[in-house]
C-alpha cells in the first residue's frame, strides 16, 4: 500500500465502510488507505516505521507521529506494525468490554495485556543488535536491567574486566556509538516509560538515572525534540482524547 497509488476499488469499499463505522482503524500500511480517502487530514496518525516518511510525503495534511505504536484522533485509529495492531485491538476490547475480557484474550494470544499507544516503536533493547563480544553482553544486560545504576565508563570497564579504552572500542565496533551515548539512550527509554506510567518529571529523571529535571529536558530535546511534559501530554492521553466523537452513534453503526 505504501509503494504506489491505492486501488480505486479498494478506496471505494473502504470509504463506504468508514461512513457507517463508529470507529475507523488501520494496521500498518492501512493508514495509507485512510489517508488517501482524506480521513486523516489534519489528524494525528502513525504507520510502520519504514513508511512514516512516505506517509508524510504523500499526505502532508496528515500529522504523522513517527514513533508511536498506535494513535487515536477522534474516531480514527492507526497503528504501526502487526504486533502494534494487536495492542490497538486489545485497547478497543478493553474499552468496549472491560479489562477482564481484554486480559483473557491477551492470555489466549500469549501476549502482554497491551503496550501504551504512545510507547515508542523503537527502544534501546530492540534496536541494539546482540553483541558478538562475550565481554559486551553482560554490560549491555546490566544497563538494560537497571538504567539508573552506576554506569560510568570506569564502572562498566571494571565490571567487564577490561580497560575503558577497550570497552569504548567494543561499543564503537559493535554498536557504532560510545558507552556514554548508549547508556543515555537506555535511560531515555526508561524515563519515557516512567512518564507514561504517571511519574512526574523529577521522579522520571531520578529513577531513570538521568538525575535532574534539567538533564531530562536536555536529553528529551536532543533525541525527541520535545519536552518531557509535552511527551507525556501527547502520548499518555492517546486513549483519553476525543471521546466525545464516539457518542451519539446509532445502534447500526459498525467498526471498520
Residue 75, SS3 per DSSP: coil
- Over the range 20-59, which residues count as b (16 or more CB within 10 Å of their CB) and which as e? ebbbbbbbbbbbbbbbbbebbeebbbbbbeebbebbbeeb
Give yes or no for residue 249 having a pLDDT over 50. no
Summarize pLDDT for 59-96 with one digit per residue, the tens.
Answer: 999 999 887 888 999 999 999 888 888 888 988 998 89
169 Cβ neighbours under 8 A, 6+ residues apart: none
Pair (46, 100) in one structural domain: yes
- Say if CB 58 and CB 37 are below 8 A apart: no
Among candidate residues 97, 119, 141, the one where a domain is terminated: 119
- Say if CB 20 and CB 254 are below 8 A apart: yes
Q: Note whether residue 244 is domain-resident.
A: no
Residues in the chain, overall count = 256
> Which residues form the domain of 42?
8-119
Pair (112, 188) in one structural domain: no
Distance CA 28, CA 17 (A): 19
Distance CA 4, CA 239 (A): 31
Pair (172, 75) in one structural domain: no
pLDDT at 124: 60
Whole-number average pLDDT of the chain: 84
Q: Which residues pair with 76 in a beta bridge?
A: 24, 73
Q: Note whether residue 144 is domain-resident.
A: yes
Pair (101, 191) in one structural domain: no
Total of domains in the chain: 2
Q: Note whether residue 15 is domain-resident.
A: yes
Task: Give the CATH number of the domain where residue 212 resides.
Answer: 1.10.10.60
Pair (89, 35) in one structural domain: yes
pLDDT at 250: 37
Range name among 30-34, 41-45, 63-67 with the lowest pLDDT average: 63-67
Q: Note whether residue 248 is domain-resident.
A: no
Give yes or no for residue 221 having a pLDDT over 90. no
Pair (24, 112) in one structural domain: yes
Pair (26, 61) in one structural domain: yes
Task: Give the CATH number of the domain where residue 113 resides.
Answer: 3.40.50.880
Summarize pLDDT for 86-104 with one digit per residue, the tens.
Answer: 888 988 998 899 878 887 8
Summarize pLDDT for 111-162 with one digit per residue, the tens.
Answer: 655 555 555 555 565 556 677 888 999 999 999 899 999 999 999 999 999 9
- Say if CB 227 and CB 204 are below 8 A apart: no
Summarize pLDDT for 99-119 with one digit per residue, the tens.
Answer: 788 878 877 876 655 555 555
Give yes or no for residue 165 having a pLDDT over 80. yes
Pair (71, 107) in one structural domain: yes
Amino acid at each position: 500500500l505504501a509503494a504506489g497509488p491505492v486501488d480505486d476499488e479498494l478506496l471505494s469499499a473502504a470509504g463506504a465502510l468508514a461512513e457507517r463505522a463508529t470507529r475507523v482503524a488501520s494496521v500498518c500500511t492501512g493508514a495509507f488507505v485512510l489517508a488517501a480517502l482524506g480521513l486523516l487530514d489534519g489528524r494525528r496518525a502513525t504507520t510502520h516505521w519504514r513508511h512514516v516518511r512516505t506517509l508524510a510525503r504523500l499526505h502532508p495534511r496528515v500529522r504523522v507521529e513517527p514513533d508511536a505504536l498506535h494513535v487515536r484522533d477522534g474516531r480514527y485509529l492507526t497503528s504501526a506494525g502487526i504486533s502494534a495492531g494487536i495492542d490497538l485491538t486489545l485497547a478497543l476490547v478493553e474499552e468496549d468490554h472491560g479489562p477482564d475480557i481484554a486480559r483473557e484474550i491477551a492470555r489466549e494470544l500469549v501476549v502482554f495485556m497491551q503496550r501504551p499507544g504512545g510507547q515508542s516503536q523503537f527502544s534501546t533493547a530492540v534496536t541494539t543488535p546482540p553483541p558478538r563480544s562475550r565481554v559486551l553482553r553482560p554490560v549491555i544486560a546490566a544497563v538494560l536491567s537497571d538504567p539508573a545504576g552506576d554506569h560510568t565508563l570506569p564502572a562498566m570497564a571494571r565490571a567487564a574486566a577490561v580497560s575503558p579504552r577497550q570497552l569504548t572500542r567494543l561499543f564503537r565496533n559493535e554498536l557504532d556509538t560510545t558507552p556514554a551515548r548508549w547508556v543515555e539512550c537506555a535511560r531515555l527509554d526508561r524515563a519515557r516509560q516512567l512518564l507514561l506510567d504517571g511519574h512526574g518529571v523529577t521522579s522520571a529523571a531520578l529513577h531513570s538515572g538521568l538525575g535532574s529535571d534539567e538533564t531530562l529536558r536536555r536529553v528529551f530535546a536532543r533525541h525527541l525534540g520535545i519536552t518531557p511534559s509535552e511527551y507525556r501530554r501527547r502520548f499518555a492521553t492517546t486513549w483519553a482524547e476525543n471521546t466525545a466523537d464516539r457518542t451519539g452513534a446509532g445502534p447500526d453503526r459498525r467498526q471498520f
